[in-house]
Amino acid sequence: MNHRTTFSRRIRHIALAASLVCLSATTMAAPEAQFQTAFKHFIQASQGDSAAIEQAADAFAGLLLSDPTNPVLMAYAGSATSMKASTTMLPWKKMAYAEDGLAKLDKALALLGPAHDAPVQHGTPGVLEVKFVASNTFLAVPGFMNRGERGAKLLGEVVQHPLLATAPLPFRGSVWLSAAKEASKAKNTAEAKRYLDLIVQQQAPQAAQAQALLKTLSAS
């Protein structure tokens, strides 16, 4: 065997190893059943169920322990931790929960790389899910924490991202609904209606909410 053949085989082996590393990076995810349980608690928490806040925070913290570099799990853990600020009357605890949660979200955003353009959990591109969770949290925290501007920027990035078209319809509906609400707050009624019409036209799960908001905007 000549040196050129040996070198060529080594290059192929290196390339194969590299492709396997990249593949594992793009497909790494928490077990779907466990993720869906935690996600269900998170949705309930975001809808005002105070008991679900602790459940969501604990569930995502547990998942994150087994996969500490998963930015999607980090984002949900951070957002749920921030929501725990609403479960206490103690000011120092409120700040501790909020700051801990925001720190996790900052870390989740910093963890994003090209591999996270691929779906990470439930078929959604990781880059979109992390930015969307972060944007919603940043827009929800009190103004003195100075996260509103970054939250609006992240939401805009998700809305304009070319990968949004590849995301599941429930996720797209959530993004459009958030964009519509922010546009409405900014008194940009035309833009709010555009996103709400899109939800209805695409028959997203949020269609009933969108129709109700459209009636409100038309009446105002």
**Tens-level pLDDT at each residue, the chain (220 residues):** 544 443 334 333 323 333 333 333 344 678 889 999 999 999 999 988 989 999 999 999 999 999 999 999 999 999 999 999 999 999 999 999 999 999 999 999 999 999 999 999 989 999 999 999 999 999 999 999 999 999 999 999 999 999 999 999 999 999 999 999 999 999 999 999 999 999 999 999 999 999 999 999 988 7
User: Is the CATH code 3.30.70 the one for domain 30-162?
Assistant: no
Residue extents of the structural domains in the chain: 30-162, 168-220
Contacts 24+ apart (CB under 8 A), 136-144: 136/46, 136/79, 136/178, 137/78, 137/79, 137/82, 137/101, 137/102, 137/105, 138/102, 138/105, 139/182, 140/82, 141/82, 141/98, 141/102
- Give first-to-last CA distance, the chain, whole Å: 81
Sequence length of the chain is 220
What pTM does this model have?
0.86
